[in-house]
A and B are shown apart, each in its own frame.
Chain A
Amino acid sequence: MIWGEPEIGGAAHDNCNGNDGRVLPGSGAHGVNELGPGYAAAAANVAVTDAASVTDKAETASRFEIAAYRLAQWLRSPRPYLMLLGFAIFLGFWYLTVEVWKLPRFVQMPGPTAVITEWLSPDPIYGLSIYSPEYYQHIWVSWRRVLIAFVLATLAGVPLGLFLGWSQLFKEYVFPVFELLRPIPPLAWVPLAIIMFQGSETPIIFLTFLASFYATTLNTMLGVESIDVSFVRAAYCLGAKRRQVFWHVVVPGAMPFIFTGLQISVGVAWFSLVAGEMVSGQYGLGYLINTSYTMVQYPTMVIGMFTLGVVGYVTSAGVRLLGDYIMQWRARELAMGGNQ
Chain B
Amino acid sequence: MSSEPAPVYEPSIAPPAPSPTRRPDGSRKGEIRIENVVKVYGSQTAGIRAVDNCSFDVPAGKITVVVGPSGCGKTTLLNAIAGFHSITSGTICLDDQVLCGPARPKANPGPDRIVVFQNGALFPWKTIIENVAFGPMVQGLLSRKQAYAKARTMLAEAGLRDLESNYPGEISSGMRRRVEIARALMNDPKVLLLDEPYRALDSLTKSVMHEALLETFDRNQVTVFFITHDLEEAIFLGHRVVIMTTRPCRPKKILNVDIPHPRDYSVLTAKRFREYLDETVEAVHEEALKAFAAGERER
Contacts and interface: CB of A to CB of B under 8 A. Distances in A.
Interface in B1-47: 1-3, 6
Contact of A233 (B1, B84, B135): B84
Nearest to A11: B172
Which interface class (under 10, 10 to 19, 20 to 34, 35 or more) fits A?
A: 35 or more
Contacts of B110: 236-237, 239
B164 to A, nearest CB: 7
B166 A333 contact: no
B276 interface: no
Residue with the highest number of chain B CB atoms closer than 10 Å, among A46, A238, A253: A238
B166 A233 contact: no
A248 B2 contact: no
Interface in A1-37: 12-16, 19-22
A135 to B, nearest CB: 43
Interface stretch (B65-73, B122-130, B206-214, B290-298): B122-130
B217 interface: no
Interface stretch (B112-120, B225-233, B254-262): B112-120
Given A238-B135, A239-B135, A332 B162 contact: no
B115 A339 contact: no
B277 to A, nearest CB: 31
Nearest to A232: B121
B165 interface: yes
B167 A238 contact: no
A255 interface: yes
B117 A230 contact: yes
Contacts of B102: none
Interface in A231-268: 231, 233-241, 244, 248-249, 252-253, 255
Contacts of B119: 228, 230
Given A54-B2, A255-B125, A19 B152 contact: yes
A19 B162 contact: yes
B111 A12 contact: no
A19 B2 CA distance: 12
B171 A12 contact: yes
B121 A228 contact: yes
**Chain B at the A interface: SS class:** loop
A59 B171 CA distance: 23
Nearest to B189: A237
Contacts of A45: 165
Contacts of B111: 237-239
- Candidate in B84, B121, B126, B127 with the most chain A CB atoms within 10 angstroms: B121
A325 to B, nearest CB: 14
Contact of B139 (A22, A230, A239, A340): A239
Residue with the highest number of chain A CB atoms closer than 10 Å, among B1, B170, B172, B175: B170
Contact of B169 (A237, A241, A336): A336
B165 A21 contact: yes
B121 A50 contact: no
B170 A332 contact: yes
B113 A16 contact: no
B163 interface: yes
B204 interface: no
Contacts of A20: 2, 6
Given A237-B113, A239-B110, A50 B165 contact: yes
B64 to A, nearest CB: 19
Interface in B128-173: 134-135, 138-139, 152, 156, 160-167, 169-173
B170 A51 contact: no
Contacts of B175: 13
A248 B123 contact: yes
A12 B109 contact: no
A190 interface: no
Contact of B187 (A19, A238, A330): A238
Contacts of B109: 233, 236-237
A228 B122 CA distance: 11
Given A329-B124, A332-B169, A19 B164 contact: yes
Contacts of A239: 110-111, 135, 138-139, 187
Given A12-B166, A13-B171, A249 B123 contact: yes
Interface in A180-238: 228, 230-231, 233-238
B130 to A, nearest CB: 9
A228 B109 CA distance: 17
Contacts of B84: 233
Given A49-B127, A51-B1, A234 B115 contact: yes
A248 B152 CA distance: 21
B138 A329 contact: no
A237 B114 contact: yes
A14 B138 CA distance: 29
A13 B162 CA distance: 6
22 contacts: A12-B171, A12-B172, A15-B170, A19-B164, A45-B165, A46-B165, A49-B127, A50-B2, A228-B121, A230-B119, A230-B121, A231-B121, A234-B115, A237-B115, A238-B114, A239-B110, A240-B134, A240-B138, A330-B125, A330-B169, A332-B169, A340-B173
The 10 A-B residue pairs whose C-beta atoms are closest, nearest first, are A333-B169, A234-B121, A238-B135, A252-B125, A239-B111, A230-B121, A239-B139, A236-B109, A46-B165, A329-B167
Interface of B: 1-3, 6, 82-84, 109-111, 113-115, 117, 119-121, 123-127, 134-135, 138-139, 152, 156, 160-167, 169-173, 175, 183-184, 187
Given A45-B165, A329-B124, 17 more contacts: A12-B170, A16-B162, A46-B165, A53-B3, A228-B119, A230-B119, A233-B84, A238-B135, A238-B139, A238-B184, A244-B138, A328-B167, A330-B169, A333-B169, A336-B169, A339-B171, A339-B172
